[in-house]
Amino acid sequence: MLSLRLSRLVKPATVRSSLLLSLTSTGFSTTSSVQTPPFSILHARPCGADLGKLIILTATEDLTTLDKTVPLELMKEMVMIGASHGWIATLKEDGIMRLQDDLNPVASDSDPKHIPLPPLVTLPHCQTQVVTNVAMSSSSPEHEDCVVAVKFLGPQLSLCRPAQRNSEWTNIRTENQCFYSSPVMFSQKDGMFRIPGSGGNLIGSWDLHKHKKKPKIQRLRFKNLPELTKTKRELLHSCCTSQHLVESTTTDETFLVRWYRKATSSGVVKMKTKAAMVFKLDEEGNAVYTEDIGHLCIFLSKSEPFCVPANSIPGMCPNIVDLFDFDDPPLSDWMSPPSLVIVIHTRLPYSTTNYLGLV
């Protein structure tokens, strides 16, 4: 059974490049225990005055055109640099980073919230132009205790509290190079921002007060690794591998997802998903390979990952890892009605159904 799953798992998946917005009960007020299904924003159909109506595809594959109108410029990847809890982070030519709720369907069309963050400060021998991702400690930057983390490509990690008066960045240099290209996430369980090392063997954790210079380091020990054929091992070794941490607040579990992607051999170089492996982490640092995450669904992207029970999303299958590849046609190419023929879901017990996410 294990070899059968892995043989299917390493098949390439054709995916769409778009956004995934999750409106969960932790992120937005709701009177129901059933969460609004995560959905991908395929594009915005122009409707005048540089505005467009959002066209979305839910995780349960329902295609819908919303009455919600958004600025078309937000569909350009050069403007949006990340997202968390339904807020998108933008960085425009003025050099000011902002958190915006424009793409949240329940937010106001006429009065969207745009929260400017403090001016960026670049540490020596660092850069603040290329952002890996953005994460938030709570569902809204308007909360007094909300901390926003911005992970830049390279050594710099920057934290701030937008709701506090005279907010400033706390800039941290991550000395270990294994953290340079990895994404940051916020651990509700530990109350800290965490970054998995690029090799997967280390996890660094930062508290805004305690770890400005040295992070808390956890070393992982990988167990129960699957037996792979030589061909499959060579395929995985030839891939570019990224590590992603995700927590389940309902089961109090933490998972490490290894995402294997490989450059295409023809035309413009793009990265295509080849496989994903999931490890369950414990407090002792054991990372146990698993093919069973129970009733959970994991959504993974270049934004902050998230994990929800399948029964909180009507029609959603359990034991699913949904990935969204980044390097397919850019959002700006989707201004005409999208060709859904390129959307191929590979749903498996541990599938490579793909979503690019903002949570």
Instruction: List the chain domain ranges.
Output: 2-27+34-342
- Residue 302's pLDDT band (cuts 50, 70, 90): low
Q: Is the predicted pLDDT of residue 206 greater than 80, yes or no?
A: yes
DSSP secondary structure, 187-247, as one string: ETTTTEEEEE-TTSSEEEEE-TTT-SSS-EEEE-EEESPPP--HHHHHHHHTSEEEEEEEE
Give yes or no for a contact between 71 and 46, defined as CB atoms under 8 angstroms apart.
no
Per-residue pLDDT at 273: 82
Six token digits for residue 278: 């999931």
Q: Is the predicted pLDDT of residue 331 greater than 50, yes or no?
A: no
More confident residue, 6 or 130: 130
pLDDT tens across 218-247, in order?
A: 999 999 998 888 998 998 899 999 999 999
Tokens 């980044």, located at residue: 326
- Closest by CA to 322, choosing from 244, 253, 254, 264, is 244
Exposure string of 296-311, with b = 16+ CB inside 10 Å and e = fewer, is bbbbbbbbbbbbbbbe
Per-residue pLDDT at 211: 62
Per-residue pLDDT at 268: 64
pLDDT tens across 106-124, in order?
A: 788 888 899 999 999 999 9
- Going across the sheet that includes 87-91, the strands are 80-84, 87-91, 97-100, 114-116
Q: Which run of H or of E encompasses 323?
A: strand 320-323
Six token digits for residue 263: 């450059």
Mean of pLDDT over the chain: 77
Taking the C-alpha atoms of residue 313 and residue 34, their distance in angstroms, rounded to an integer, is: 6
Across residues 266-274, what is the average pLDDT? 73
Q: Is the predicted pLDDT of residue 7 greater than 50, yes or no?
A: no
Across residues 318-341, what is the average pLDDT? 47
Six token digits for residue 69: 């109108």
pLDDT tens across 43-83, in order?
A: 788 888 888 888 877 777 778 888 888 888 887 666 788 88
Q: Which CATH class is domain 2-27+34-342?
A: mainly beta
Per-residue pLDDT at 285: 95
Give yes or no for a contact between 272 and 239, defined as CB atoms under 8 angstroms apart.
no
Across residues 294-305, what is the average pLDDT? 81
- Residue 21's pLDDT band (cuts 50, 70, 90): low
Could you count the other beta carbons within 10 Å of the beta carbon of residue 138? 19
Task: Look up the pTM and report it.
Answer: 0.80
Across residues 90-106, what is the average pLDDT? 86
